[in-house]
Amino acid sequence: MAVSSDTISAVEKATKKYKYGFITDIETEFAPKGLNEDIVKFISKKNDEPSWLLEWRLKAYRQWLKMEKEEPKWANIHFPEIDFQEAYYYAAPKSDEDKPKSLDEIDPEILNTYNKLGIPIKEQEMLAGIVGSGNVAVDAVFDSVSVATTFKSKLSELGIIFCPISEAVKKHPDLIKKYLGSVIPQTDNFYSALNSAVYSDGSFVYIPEGVKCPMDLSTYFRINAAETGQFERTLIVADKGSYVSYLEGCTAPMRDENQLHAAVVELVALEDAEIKYSTVQNWYPGDENGKGGIYNFVTKRGACRGNNSKISWTQVETGSAITWKYPSVILQGDNSIGEFYSVAISNKKQQADTGTKMVHIGKNTKSTIISKGISAGYGQQTYRGLVRMQAGAENATNFSQCDSLLIGKNCGGHTVPYIDSRNPTAEVAHEATTSKISDEQLFYVQQRGLDPEEAVALIVNGFAKEVLKKLPMEFAVEAQKLLGVSLEGSVG
Partner 1 sequence: MGTALQIKNLHVEVNNKLILKGLSLNIEHGEMAAIMGPNGSGKSTLASVLAGKEGYNVTKGYIKYLGNDLLKMPPEDRAAAGVFLAFQYPVEIPGVATSTFVRTSLNAQKRNRGEAELDAMQFLKLAREKAKQLEMSEDFFQRAVNVGFSGGEKKRAEVFQMSMLEPTLAILDETDSGLDIDALKIVAEGVNRLRDDKLSGIVITHYQRLLDYLQPDTIHILAEGKIVKTGDKSLALLLEEKGYQGIDGAN
Give the footprint of partner 1 on this chain (CB under 8 A). Answer: 438-441, 443-452, 454, 458-459, 461-466
Q: Looking at beta carbons only, is 360 or 372 nearer to partner 1?
A: 372
Shortest distance, CB of residue 19 to partner 1, whole angstroms?
20
- Cβ–Cβ contacts within 10 Å for residue 29, how many? 17
Comparison of 67 and 458: residue with beta carbon closer to partner 1: 458
* Sheet with 216-222, side-by-side order of all strands: 145-149, 136-142, 216-222, 243-251, 274-282, 310-317, 337-346, 366-375, 397-406, 427-436
Distance CA 201, CA 204 (A): 10
Minimum CB separation from partner 1 for residue 442, in Å? 9
Q: Tell me which amino acid residue 324 is.
A: W
CB of 410 to partner 1, least distance (A): 19
CA dihedral 264, 103, 160, 303 (to 10 degrees): -10
**CB-based contact 246:160 (threshold 8 Å):** no
Instruction: Assign 368 to helix, strand or coil.
Output: strand
Q: Between residues 80 and 449, which has the closer beta carbon with respect to partner 1?
A: 449
| Alpha carbons within 13 A on the beta-carbon side of 83 | 7
Using CA atoms of 79, 370, 434, 353 in order, give the dihedral in degrees to the nearest 10.
Answer: 10
Q: In whole angstroms, what is the distance from residue 167 CA to residue 148 CA? A: 12
Nearer to partner 1 among residue 80 and residue 492 (C-beta): 492
Nearer of residues 160 and 485 to partner 1, judged by Cβ: 485
Give the nearer residue to partner 1 in terms of CB position, either 83 or 439.
439
Question: Shortest distance, CB of residue 446 to partner 1, whole angstroms?
Answer: 4
SS3 (DSSP) at 78? coil
Whichever of 136 and 437 has its CB closer to partner 1, that residue is 437
Smallest separation, CB 462 to partner 1 (Å): 3
Q: How far is the CB of 480 from partner 1 (least distance, A)?
A: 11
Determine the Cα–Cα distance for residues 313 and 435; give it in Å rounded to an integer: 25
* Least distance to partner 1, CB of residue 242, Å: 33
